[in-house]
């Protein structure tokens, strides 16, 4: 195993980092760091002798979180994914129709089920009222209370 990042390297997380129960003051499963956020490597080590774990300081929220190597990429690499992530609650900014019948009204609440759709991460798989839809990012807004 060879580590990719060193002390002081700026890195970006490629997926949401949730509390696995080891962060006091946060509920288990709560989002600690949103995907796309950047932080700086403080140190690295191994877990179970087969995974490299980096201690990353995220300055925006002043949290130091352990991240697996596969969850990180250099901050200098292009990042095209949208800001919404799996599990986010969103509201529809416009009605959605199937066969010219409106099935999702403006303001209806849905949940992100899939991300990184499209070349620029500009559409999402969203469930509204138990139905799945492919929705452009411009038609969705993150519900702030869901963070």
Determine the Cα–Cα distance for residues 65 and 53; give it in Å rounded to an integer. 10
**Ramachandran area for residue 25 (φ above 0: left; ψ -120 to 50: alpha; else beta):** left
Give pLDDT tens digits for 7-16: 999 999 887 8
Q: Are residues 93 and 61 in the same domain?
A: no
Give pLDDT tens digits for 98-139: 999 999 999 999 998 877 655 555 788 899 989 999 888 889
Residue 84 in any domain: the answer is: no
Do strands 38-47 and 51-58 pair parallel, antiparallel, or not at all (unpaired)? Answer: antiparallel
Q: Are residues 105 and 135 in the same domain?
A: yes
Residue 83 has pLDDT above 80, yes or no: no
Structural domains in the chain (count): 2
Q: Are residues 25 and 68 in the same domain?
A: yes
Residue 85 has pLDDT above 80, yes or no: no
**Structural domain span for residue 24:** 10-74
Query: Residue 146 has what pLDDT?
Result: 39
Which tokens in the block code for residue 101? Answer: 């019948």
CATH, residue 112: 2.30.30.40
């Amino acid at each position: 195993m060879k580590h990719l990042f060193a002390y002081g390297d700026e890195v970006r997380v490629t997926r949401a980092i949730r509390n696995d129960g080891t962060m006091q003051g946060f509920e288990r499963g709560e989002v600690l760091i949103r995907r796309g956020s950047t932080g700086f490597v403080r140190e690295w080590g191994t877990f179970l002798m087969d995974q490299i774990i980096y201690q990353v300081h995220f300055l925006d929220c002043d949290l130091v979180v352990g991240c697996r190597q596969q969850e990180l990429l250099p901050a200098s690499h292009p990042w095209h994914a949208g800001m919404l992530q799996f599990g986010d609650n969103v509201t529809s900014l416009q009605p959605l129709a199937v066969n010219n019948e409106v099935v999702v009204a403006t303001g209806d609440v849905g949940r992100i089920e899939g991300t990184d759709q499209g070349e620029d991460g500009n559409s999402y798989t969203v469930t509204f009222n138990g139905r799945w839809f492919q929705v452009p990012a411009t038609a969705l807004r993150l519900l702030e209370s869901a963070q």
